[in-house]
Amino acid sequence: MRSLSIWLALSLSAIVCAVPAKDCAHKLKETVPPPRGWTKLRPAPADHTIELRIALPQPNFSVLEKHLYEVSDPFHERYGEHLSKEEVEALVAPHDESIHLVNEWLASHGIYEDDLSRSPAKDWVMVKVPVSLAEEMLKTEYHIWSHDASGNAIVRTTSYSIPEHLDEHIELVQPTTMFSRMKSLKSTVRFSDVEISSLAVNADQPPISVPSASGGKVDASCNETITITCIQQLYNAVGFTPSAKNGNQIGITGYLEQFANIADLQEFYADQRPDALNSTFKTILINGGLNNQTLSEAGAEADLDTQFAFGLTFPTPGTFFSTGGSPPFKPDVLTPDNSNEPYTEWLNFILKQENPPQTISTSYADDEQTVPVSFAKRVCEGFAQLGARGVSLMFSSGDGGVGDGDPDPATQECFTNDGRNVTRFVPLFPLPAHCEYGPKANQYIDLKLLHSVTGVGGTIHVPETAVFFSGGGFSDVVIPSSPYQNSAVSTFLDQLPAGTYEGLFNPNGRAIPDVSAQADLFKIFLSGEAILIGGTSAAAPTFSGIVSLLNSARLSQGLPPLGFLNPLIYAIHAATPSAFNDITVGNNPGCGTPGFNATKGWDPVTGVGTPNFGKLKDILTAL
């Protein structure tokens, strides 16, 4: 029967297009308005190389969604029964006829099997071609576009077409219409204005009483400087030692030539984690990524992430993934580097791994509205594959409050990018706002109601309050919100005075963040010097460190890792609210507004709150 269906498909394609595939009638696949904040400079050089990524449909993805929902639902009998790499790949594999018809189209342009690469499931085809050939294949014109604010430039088009008979066999082709400038959440790493040498803490100052903390107390110094000890005390994790031999791992992603310096790590360990001295992490280089160890090249983002994530979880094996790609395109260079989106390079790599880390933290993103919905959908389907395999993914929620990620209200651009230039709060991507899966269809972008990444907002000081830059709000792309967060989010919205920010946000959209953690005044070592630094880039690896400790506790008892967290988070919050420290003070201003307020229960500044490791461990090792 399968061979018959392929024969029928090929026969129909011959009827539809009885000429070489490259000469078939084309159909417009995607178009976007001229992107706000970008200027078209001139046609792209004909010999500029682009790696086209062609996404083939995943006809059985709904089955994968069902598995993801069941293994992630703590009330389901299959909770924790994660799928293998091979099982996941079988569920996302395209039909044979899609593979054949796309091969036929590529061959008509002189591109054969030896010229391309495929994802393990064959749902992505990657081929490097010059702009001139890409324009012929997609019936489009590429131009050099310059970003007005930064001066960065990329090669993109605002529309493209594919042969009509391939419309059901190709979901998208990129890079085409995506004008994202993936970066370290614009300014998510925030250097403190306080000189660390000027800090003077009275050694006799009594500890701060925090009932939920380890021993009910937190060192007074933690109001001026956050260290590993502060996190352990505040989140009730003092005394727990993870295993180095139970298979648990934690990973940190790095992009844009952010290098994690090992000498800085040793300085950090000497200062805050002496038992970890002379230990290090594994570095994996992806797509030409580097991790140069010259002190002057140490990256603030990379050092922050690795020092706190690996410091919190020592001796758990840690991995730093350094992914190359998407350097600023130089319009005056005749042979520029490839300008692809680097996040997909990492995602494709990690999906190929047999045993990826069970916990992975990321602190990079861009405005939601710069990312085509088709691309967001496919990235989220990649996240879903990892979630089904038992991987927990954390993303920092951004540092612009309800704004576009820019922590400076004077330079925030809080307008839609659809040609209307309407004032709007601006969520970020990639974040859980995009990645929705589950049993009910979301008609707006045909995603589902269960998402597979966790957004982490920020707090500050002891007792904790919301930090002003904590990104949060509601997606304009994913509607409606997730079923497991509906009750928590509805409670917040019901308490919001009628008309508040009407028209500035979508109250029916997926709400972020899910959780939060400390996000400012972190003491790290950068280029050999001690500095204070902050941002939700600090919150994400901190919360990830707590998740990794929980995974270690479970694995040591023969239990599976936590995997996709959000159904579990909201279920625990509903049943045992004290497992999270509720943050009720603070707000996240942006776009010329005070933003949202932190309130009792979930809020779009701090989510359900910060973790109480001790209580969570007791709950999760009994589950």
DSSP codes, 58-99:
-TTHHHHHHHHHHHH-TTSTTTT-PPPHHHHHHHHPPPHHHH
Tokens of 357: 């880390």
Tokens of 87: 């099982």
Rounded Cα distance between 515 and 472, Å, is: 11
The answer to the question of whether 406 is labelled as a binding residue is: no
The answer to the question of whether 583 is labelled as a binding residue is: yes
The answer to the question of whether 494 is labelled as a binding residue is: no
Find tokens 């269809």 and name the residue: 441
Residue among 337, 262, 268, 266 at smallest CA distance from 292:
262
171 classed as catalytic = no
Question: Contact at 8 Å (CB) between 452 and 462?
Answer: no
Q: For the chain, what is the radius of gyration of the CA atoms?
A: 24
Question: Could you tell me whether strands 282-286 and 318-323 are parallel, antiparallel, or unpaired per DSSP bridges?
Answer: parallel
pLDDT attached to residue 432: 43
Tokens of 69: 């929902």
Tokens of 188: 């998510």
Domains in the chain: ranges and CATH? 2-58+93-174 (no CATH), 190-199+227-332+340-620 (3.40.50.200)
Q: Which mean pLDDT values do the consecutive 10-residue runs of the chain (623 residues) have?
A: 49 56 88 86 92 96 93 96 98 98 97 95 96 97 87 89 97 90 50 66 81 97 97 98 98 92 98 98 95 95 97 98 68 43 85 97 71 80 94 92 68 66 70 43 37 89 96 76 85 95 89 95 96 94 98 98 96 97 96 95 98 98 94
Find tokens 């029928």 and name the residue: 8
Find tokens 């030409």 and name the residue: 288
Strand partners, 474: 511
Half-sphere exposure of 469 (CA within 13 A, CB side): 26
Query: Which stretches of 232-368 are assigned E, i.e. beta strand?
Result: 250-255, 282-286, 318-323, 359-362, 366-367
Rounded Cα distance between 475 and 477, Å, is: 5
What is the DSSP code (8-state) at residue 256? Answer: T
pLDDT attached to residue 313: 98
Phi, psi of 217 (to 5 degrees): -140, 150
Rounded Cα distance between 285 and 294, Å, is: 17
Is residue 558 classed exposed, middle or buried when 0-12, 13-18 and 19+ CB atoms within 10 A define those classes?
A: exposed
Question: Contact at 8 Å (CB) between 212 and 581?
Answer: yes
Residue of 301, 366, 464, 476 marked catalytic: 301
301 classed as catalytic = yes
Q: Provide the whole-model pTM.
A: 0.91
Residue of 51, 219, 305, 366 marked catalytic: 305
464 classed as catalytic = no
The answer to the question of whether 111 is labelled as a binding residue is: no
